[in-house]
Amino acid sequence: MRLNLLRVRNLRCLVEAELAPAPGLNLLTGGNGAGKTSLIEAVHLLGYGRSFRGRVRDGLVRGGQTALELFAEWQDGQGRRRRVGLRHTGQEWEARLDGAPAPSLTELCAELAVVTFEPGSHELLAGGGEHRRRFLDWALFHVEPEFLPVWRRYARALKQRNALLKRQPVAAALEPWDQELAQAGEILSRLRSAYLARLEPVLASTAEEFLAELGRPGLRFQPGWRREEQSLADALLLSRERDLALGYTSLGPHRADWRVEYPALPGREALSRGQEKLTALACVLAQARAFAADRGEWPLVCLDDLASELDRVHLARALTSLVGSGAQILLTATEMPDLLAGPLAPQARFHVEQGVPRPL
Ligand SMILES: Nc1ncnc2c1ncn2[C@@H]1O[C@H](COP(=O)(O)OP(=O)(O)OP(=O)(O)O)[C@@H](O)[C@H]1O
């Protein structure tokens, strides 16, 4: 997947910005508040329907404006030229995909695959389970056709069951939703567990390239109930009294989680802050690699302010591992890191000032 053109209007400080990235490594430099992260946010928004700094309604639209507008043109793995346009007010949106109206944001996000590592990405290890579920589900959404319908089934059944639980229904009223939840939930869990099993060796080889000192990382899946001991149907039945008292469904795949384990470390808490970031980066890059292996094309890789996150040695190793891969990369930094020379020299450089990126 190769992004040829990005146009942004009225997103944070970007009044009217245009970026035409090259294949390979693109470096965006500029001072604090210049708009580098906002450009990455624009790409991320097309890939996820939300920013990594919150929803569109949480301040993404430029002050004094009613909507932001994005346009992107890229080439997919088969060499086809694709186009997407999005207008978003924070409440309402309108989108076009290849010239036709897009029926949903989900449809849009299925087309442009983006992985992002930014200063908040250490939340993948340190934050709540929703970050890690989102990570898992992004991959499945893109590579597993069975995933989205089953995820929707599960989400709908969960909403209905939770609404019922609040009303203290008779047990029989819960039956159909328990059944639906159990059926969809078992499939969801199987898909997630299989994905993590596929990701584990990819993560190990990625971490080996720039984080070998910690040993081979493993991935442990937590399905959201005691899956090795009981079916989800049984678990739901057993937790019914408690769920009625709580007024919501206390177990199931919506509570799933996963974690990275290093054999020589007692737990995540033993990681230094830098090691936590490197591990999160390894997870993100492994996910991009696994995507490339499954789909035969790389997602667009966005790395915001990586140099301020990593020391020089780890930064060089991480970039070397990526740059050789053929992925298109958008990398932001306040200044050009001096290690970006020789084989790590960017294919294109842009300087961002007051929300305007200019090619150098
Ligand atoms: N809704 C908004 N309307 C107008 N300006 C905004 C809005 N939200 C944020 N800004 C401004 O947009 C800029 C955002 O900059 P951005 O985070 O993209 O900068 P950056 O180049 O990545 O900087 P840094 O190096 O400090 O991370 C800031 O100057 C901020 O004050």
The CATH number of the domain holding residue 106 is: 3.40.50.300
User: Of 295, 315, 338, which one is at a domain's C-terminal end?
Assistant: 295
pLDDT at 325 (0 to 100):
86
Residues 242 and 143 reside in one and the same domain: yes
Nearest CA to ligand 1 atom 29: 33
> Does the structure show a pLDDT above 90 at 242?
yes
User: Of 295, 312, 339, which one is at a domain's C-terminal end?
Assistant: 295
pTM over 0.90: yes
> Does the structure show a pLDDT above 90 at 326?
no
Residues 77 and 148 reside in one and the same domain: no
Nearest CA to ligand 1 atom 24: 32
Q: DSSP strand E in the chain: where?
A: 2-11, 14-19, 25-29, 68-75, 81-88, 93-97, 100-101, 114-117, 218-222, 257-261, 300-303, 329-333, 348-353, 356-359
pLDDT at 179 (0 to 100):
97
Which among 9, 11, 37 is the best mutation to test ligand 1's pocket, defined by most ligand atoms within 8 Å of the CB?
37
Residues 241 and 356 reside in one and the same domain: no
> Does the structure show a pLDDT above 90 at 32?
yes
- What count of other Cβ atoms lies within 10 Å of the Cβ of residue 20? 15
Domain count, the chain: 2
Pick from 27, 24, 21, 36: nearest CA to 74: 21
Least confident piece of the model among 260-264, 282-286, 320-324:
320-324
66 is in an annotated binding site: no
In a domain, 195, yes or no: yes
pLDDT at 210 (0 to 100):
86
> Does the structure show a pLDDT above 80 at 245?
yes
Which residues does a 6 A CB cutoff place in the pocket of ligand 1? 12-13, 30, 32-38, 59, 62-63, 305, 334
90 is in an annotated binding site: no
Environment class of residue 180 by beta-carbon count within 10 Å: exposed (0-12), middle (13-18) or buried (19+)?
A: middle
Domain range enclosing 39: 1-113+299-360
Residues 251 and 132 reside in one and the same domain: yes
> Does the structure show a pLDDT above 90 at 44?
yes
Segment 115-139 shows an average pLDDT of 94
When the pLDDT of each residue in the chain is averaged and rounded to a whole number, the result is: 94
Segment 49-67 shows an average pLDDT of 92
In a domain, 121, yes or no: no
Nearest CA to ligand 1 atom 3: 62
Banded model confidence at residue 267, pLDDT cuts 50, 70, 90? confident
pLDDT at 170 (0 to 100):
83
What confidence tens digit (pLDDT) does each residue in 291-310 have?
A: 999 999 999 999 999 988 78
Backbone angles phi, psi at 54, to 5 degrees: 115, -175
37 is in an annotated binding site: yes
Segment 43-69 shows an average pLDDT of 93
Which among 9, 13, 330 is the best mutation to test ligand 1's pocket, defined by most ligand atoms within 8 Å of the CB?
13
In a domain, 12, yes or no: yes
Residues 157 and 279 reside in one and the same domain: yes
pLDDT at 269 (0 to 100):
79
35 is in an annotated binding site: yes
Residues 290 and 344 reside in one and the same domain: no
Q: In ligand 1, which atom is closest to the CA atom of 31? A: 25
In a domain, 123, yes or no: no
To the nearest whole percent, how much of the chain has pLDDT over 90?
Answer: 85
In a domain, 20, yes or no: yes
Residues 105 and 140 reside in one and the same domain: no
pLDDT at 270 (0 to 100):
87
Residues 18 and 89 reside in one and the same domain: yes
- From ligand 1's centre to the CA of 286, what distance in Å? 29
pLDDT at 227 (0 to 100):
96
- From ligand 1's centre to the CA of 38, what distance in Å? 6
To the nearest whole percent, how much of the chain has pLDDT over 70?
Answer: 100
Banded model confidence at residue 239, pLDDT cuts 50, 70, 90? very high
Residues 282 and 304 reside in one and the same domain: no
Residues 160 and 234 reside in one and the same domain: yes
User: Of 295, 313, 346, which one is at a domain's C-terminal end?
Assistant: 295
Residues 104 and 231 reside in one and the same domain: no
34 is in an annotated binding site: yes
30 is in an annotated binding site: yes
Residues 289 and 303 reside in one and the same domain: no
What confidence tens digit (pLDDT) does each residue in 162-204 have?
A: 999 999 888 889 999 999 999 999 999 999 999 999 999 999 9
pLDDT at 266 (0 to 100):
78
